[in-house]
């Protein structure tokens, strides 16, 4: 993908120097330790959190800020994420009146969000309650090594997909549809919206040979059926939350070819 390394986006909250544990009276413990204390408190009917501080109110999560240490490769990755985020938001601002920018939180391991604990194992996600995308850059290693989705445009697809959820929040999709009952249609529409941004980059000659294939491969690699097979489970469409590999690449491709929001109505189309 053709892009020029620059500064960090103003829409990024870089919290890689903040931990995801809990602070008690100046002592910092991990989420596992907090769970142990909670279990002990329930079993013995005693507030074990109070052992760390005289006030139970201090059991709130206290991020501990540390200097951000990053490799040159990770620094370049932050610049790439910044480019994609800014470019995609500019694309949507031109399509949606009064577009409101989403924020992206970069973190490591775990951190609190308005939608609950964000952690590496859960992968990137969009939280509609605070309108932020949460991303641990380590996910890109997993995308490459575990799912076989290589290339910078595969990474860009992930960001564009999560931003697609923000577009859904702004356009009322979350108000009109049940996130649980309609989860597959919601996720496939976000894939289609990612394709719309891809269409824009193609029109502006930002794509290089192989970029489209990288995006399509990324969409297909995270299909529910493929993940179930990787986990040694039988494929069960009734448990799908994001759609099959075929569905995901189909809708990403539709947005990529069309570039029109109206062509991304996954709720009334035959899946």
- Domain layout of the chain by residue ranges: 22-59, 67-264
Q: What does the pLDDT read at residue 159?
A: 97
- β-strand 116-119 against 110-113: which pairing, if any? antiparallel
Which of these, 73, 74, 234, 223, lies nearest to 161 by C-alpha position?
223
Write down the pLDDT at residue 119.
87
What pLDDT score was predicted for residue 67? 66
> Which stretches within 96-182 are classed as H helix?
139-145, 152-170, 173-176
Pick from 139, 113, 104: nearest CA to 9:
104
pLDDT computed for residue 48 by the predictor = 45
How far is Cα 249 from Cα 50, in angstroms, rounded to an integer?
52
Predicted model pTM: 0.82
Beta bridge partners of 135: 106
Give pLDDT, residue 57.
39
- The percentage of residues in the chain with a pLDDT greater than 70, rounded to a whole number, is 81
Instruction: Please determine, for residue 271, whether its predicted confidence score (pLDDT) is greater than 50.
Output: yes
d(CA 260, CA 237): 28
Cβ-proximal residues to 168 (8 Å cutoff; 6+ apart), any chain: 174, 186, 189, 190, 193
End-to-end, the C-alpha distance of the chain in Å comes to 30
36-85 per-position pLDDT tens digit = 545 555 555 455 445 544 433 333 444 555 668 888 889 999 999 999 99
Compute the chain's Rg from CA coordinates. Answer: 20
Q: What band does 190 get if pLDDT is binned at 50, 70 and 90? A: very high
8 Å CB contact between 118 and 133? no
pLDDT at 240: 94
Question: Which pLDDT tens digit goes with each residue over 135-186?
Answer: 999 999 999 999 999 999 999 999 999 999 999 999 999 999 998 889 999 9
Average pLDDT over residues 2-27: 75
Residues above pLDDT 90, as percent of the chain: 71
Quick one: tokens of 197?
């941004």
Is it the case that residue 221 has pLDDT exceeding 50? yes
* Residue partners of 9: CB distance under 8 A and separation at least 6: 81, 82, 83, 85, 86, 104
Per the DSSP assignment, residues forming a β-bridge with 106 are 14, 135
* Full DSSP string of 235-252: --GGG-SS--HHHHHHHH
Mean of all residue pLDDT scores within the chain? 86
Residue 52, C-beta contacts closer than 8 angstroms, at least 6 positions apart: 24, 25, 27, 58
Identify the pLDDT of residue 262: 96
Q: Which of 183, 197, 180 is nearest to 267 (CA)?
A: 183
> Is the Cβ–Cβ distance between 196 and 259 less than 8 Å?
yes
Tell how far CA 79 is from the center of its chain.
17
Q: Quote the CA–CA distance of 172 and 261 in Å, as a whole number.
A: 14
- What pLDDT sits at residue 217? 93
């Amino acid at each position: 993908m053709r892009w020029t390394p620059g500064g960090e986006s103003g829409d990024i909250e870089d919290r890689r120097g903040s931990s995801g544990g809990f602070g008690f009276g100046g002592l910092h413990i991990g989420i596992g330790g907090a769970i142990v204390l909670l279990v002990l408190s329930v079993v013995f009917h005693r507030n074990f959190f109070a052992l760390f501080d005289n006030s139970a109110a201090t059991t709130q999560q206290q991020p501990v800020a540390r200097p951000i240490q990053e490799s040159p490769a990770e620094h370049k990755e932050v610049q790439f994420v910044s480019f994609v985020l800014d470019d995609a938001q500019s694309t949507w601002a031109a399509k949606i009146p009064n577009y409101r920018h989403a924020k992206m939180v970069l973190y490591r391991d775990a951190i609190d969000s308005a939608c609950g604990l964000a952690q590496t194992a859960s992968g990137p996600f969009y939280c509609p309650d605070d309108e932020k995308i949460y991303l641990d850059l380590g996910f890109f290693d997993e995308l490459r090594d575990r799912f076989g989705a290589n290339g910078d445009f595969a990474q860009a697809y992930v960001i564009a997909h999560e931003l697609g959820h923000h577009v859904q929040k702004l356009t009322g999709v979350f108000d009109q549809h049940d996130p649980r009952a309609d989860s597959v249609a919601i996720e496939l529409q976000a894939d289609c919206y990612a394709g719309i941004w891809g269409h824009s980059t193609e029109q502006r000659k930002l794509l290089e040979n192989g970029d489209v294939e990288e995006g399509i491969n990324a969409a297909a690699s995270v299909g529910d059926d493929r993940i179930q097979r990787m986990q040694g489970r039988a494929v069960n469409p009734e448990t799908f939350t994001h759609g099959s590999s075929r569905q995901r690449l189909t809708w990403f491709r539709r947005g990529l070819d069309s570039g029109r929001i109206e062509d991304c109505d996954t709720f009334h189309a035959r899946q």
